[in-house]
Structure 1
């Protein structure tokens, strides 16, 4: 949910390489700003981890970009697994979300100061693994610590793979979902006999339910904030687009897309933003505030807002966004464990790293309490998780998730969603022609496809 500066042109790097013989490391260092979206690189001094703690067990350096409530929850989880004394002592390094984090992580891998383990969004692996910035996980070593491919949903596991190797192990899925106020839904006649929202199976039915909720609140039926926020715009659009069973393929020289599905999705969003169902010009913070104060009946958001809703004290439940266009689908990403490249990893520390990650996965019920859907299926299938509400009600979103289209310039913290903001926001805000707006976005994406991956 941030905007980023445009990255420096990779074509300049290619030209430079044609005139000057650079080592692989030098070339990577010159290219990292493009991967990170133009971050301030900063110094990596002091990032190298020590080999052992005062207790004599390996000292692991764990980098992540989790802040706010997520950061607190992760800190508590690390403290918990450290206390189990399973042969390591992990220390966290928390860096700024987005481009600064990804650039610094890449520089650490190139510069010989990589942490032992780091969180990445699964959607970024495709931009990092091909350049040698990540080491693959050893599946036999994972099996030794009770972690296997069968413990993950197929599409979640597959996202971490490339060329037959596994470069990331998902901690969670965090999809775009729908929360709803159960009191408002009841007054609008929208609840089923089980006390949950009755099934909604078409765009017209959704509009009807939203208007019924607006009649109850007197303000809006739906909260959805997007203004100046390409990530929010993309999350809803891509959810609806994938509900058309439409492909968005960036593997060729130009993007292969379904224009009809895109236009229908955008025109439906325009119907939502009519000032009655939903405000036409709200930002994300406004949407959060409106739903949490009971001024709307439904809320398009991420699972990460679960603690906010609980703290607000409103009566609510949550579910995947209703399937309106035929195919169940949800936009999502995953926080995933990666091994930033080390030329000569310490085998003792590497073994301890596997144990640390395994312990975090096995303890991820604690992570679920904050809203994220654990990727480790033994946790999802446990009675303890099934008793968590509303988490268990929206957990099926992980089975229908869709990550960003795969390319070196896509994924969380990249500029891809900012391109969507630049070209499509007026379709949302001013009712501009949906076909023209989407065509402009595709042209912008094709510009990036014409450039080489900087690494």
Structure 2
């Protein structure tokens, strides 16, 4: 129990650090002696995010639980439309002095925001006081939050593109290992053989993959396969650097899959979801972790893994929902401290976020015994160590137009069998034009 005068906020932050060390799974970490909901003396925090659907419901639950147990803050969430509307409003709020105390953004969008002064850096020492330190995150995920030597975002999760599968169909096709999980696949030919065996069972398709009119879906699979070649893409200087042979190889493999036997040649995302969720017309599904609740609700036999390493290098496309401090000219020190505690509490309760399919970025959660028993999530947790974000540029990242530009040049390659090299090089000429344009929000925020 606290004394009648109450602890200082500095003491509350230190208490939070100890609680994080205990790694209490599934609940906010700064629990007082009373629920604290609606109690006086707490600091109101404005929190913006773009999470909707099942993710939005789960986030609302996490916020409600954190508010109920905190004696420090009361979080008021604002939910804005996903994509360009959200990021435009976030930039305008930061530039115009109307920024929220804390917000969620995709980690891949950081290169377009931090250098322009639209975000304030996190104080490493204050983070340590609430138990948020670099060693408690996978290295690539923590590093993605840095810019010019400062930390600007703290990942809540990793949400990779992966492969779900129906173990009953896969068992009938003879492609499961002795552990009941899909057997190792190590080459494009192996994958074609497995998918063909599964199609022999379903009589419809082996794989569900929807891409029509959806640049994000095309990019997620292509970039996974491209990075599996060990190839890189650098979007700096006067023009992009990339490896054309790897780019073409990845696209040609995607063409090979889309033969109306292994996979529909003209399926959109909604049709692919429905096909796999039906439980009988395919046995594999390329999708994001966010579809896990959909498939659980469908009641089909289900497991999942990273997309098999087909070209020699372990790699998965993905992104992270990450906490940021939108720029404020004169931030309230007490509100800032409370924001740190709020972020700490949500990280500590992110086992609940894992239930929605995401991989928590906070290692005390994913390394816990409870998480190892969470299936299928535990079977693809290793994707956090091989995650590949969009190549860094002010114009790339989730919710940007970058992936839609990819669709403009690649959809014909996949749908009509157009030349892969010609389509990809046309896309890269568009990218080169973007590289030569200045970041439109650079310098629009305050100094950080």
Q: 2:202 aligns with which of 217, 223, 239?
A: 217
Partner of 1:302: 288
Q: 1:341 aligns with which of 323, 327, 330?
A: 327
For 2:310 and 2:48, how far apart are their aligned partners in 1?
39
Partner of 2:141: 156
For 1:64 and 1:407, how far apart are their aligned partners in 2?
22
Please say if 1:389 is aligned against 2:389. Answer: no
Moved more, 53-62 or 99-108: 53-62
Partner of 1:425: 411
Q: Give a deviation string over 1:379-433, Cα, whole Å, max 9, x none.
A: 0001111110000001111110100000000001111001100011100101110
Q: Give a deviation string over 1:88-135, Cα, whole Å, max 9, x none.
A: 111110000001100101111111111000000000010001111000
Q: Give a deviation string over 1:326-360, Cα, whole Å, max 9, x none.
A: 00100000000000001111111110000000000
Partner of 1:405: 391
Q: 1:102 aligns with which of 87, 93, 105?
A: 87
Partner of 1:49: none
For 2:172 and 2:94, how far apart are their aligned partners in 1?
56
Partner of 1:332: 318
Task: Report if aligned partners of 2:42, 2:71 keep a CA contact under 8 Å in 1.
Answer: no
SS for the counterpart of 1:59 is strand
SS for the counterpart of 2:115 is helix
Q: Give a deviation string over 1:195-216, Cα, whole Å, max 9, x none.
A: 0000000000100100100010
Partner of 1:50: none
SS for the counterpart of 1:397 is helix
Q: Give a deviation string over 1:294-322, Cα, whole Å, max 9, x none.
A: 21010000000000110011001000000
1:144-293 aligned at under 5 Å gives the runs: 144-293=129-278
* 1:172, distance to aligned residue in structure 2 (A): 0.2
- Equivalent residues, number: 404
For 1:195 and 1:287, how far apart are their aligned partners in 2?
25
For 1:350 and 1:162, how far apart are their aligned partners in 2?
20
TM-score, normalization by structure 1 = 0.88
Partner of 2:358: 372
What is the Cα-based RMSD across aligned positions, in Å? 1.0
For 1:112 and 1:202, how far apart are their aligned partners in 2?
53
For 1:131 and 1:261, how far apart are their aligned partners in 2?
33
* 1:86, distance to aligned residue in structure 2 (A): 3.9
SS for the counterpart of 1:61 is strand
Task: Report if aligned partners of 1:207, 1:272 keep a CA contact under 8 Å in 2.
Answer: yes
Partner of 1:35: none
For 2:237 and 2:91, how far apart are their aligned partners in 1?
26
SS for the counterpart of 2:51 is coil
Partner of 1:91: 76
Task: Report if aligned partners of 1:86, 1:355 keep a CA contact under 8 Å in 2.
Answer: no
SS for the counterpart of 1:131 is coil
* 1:54, distance to aligned residue in structure 2 (A): 6.1
For 1:352 and 1:86, how far apart are their aligned partners in 2?
10
SS for the counterpart of 2:247 is helix
Q: 1:143 aligns with which of 104, 122, 128?
A: 128
Check 1:86–1:378 CA distance in 2 against 1; reply closer, same or farther (3 A cut).
Answer: farther
* 1:83, distance to aligned residue in structure 2 (A): 1.2
For structure 1, the 5+ residue unaligned runs are 1-52
Task: Report if aligned partners of 1:62, 1:118 keep a CA contact under 8 Å in 2.
Answer: yes
SS for the counterpart of 1:198 is coil
Task: Report if aligned partners of 1:171, 1:335 keep a CA contact under 8 Å in 2.
Answer: yes
Task: Report if aligned partners of 1:226, 1:283 keep a CA contact under 8 Å in 2.
Answer: yes
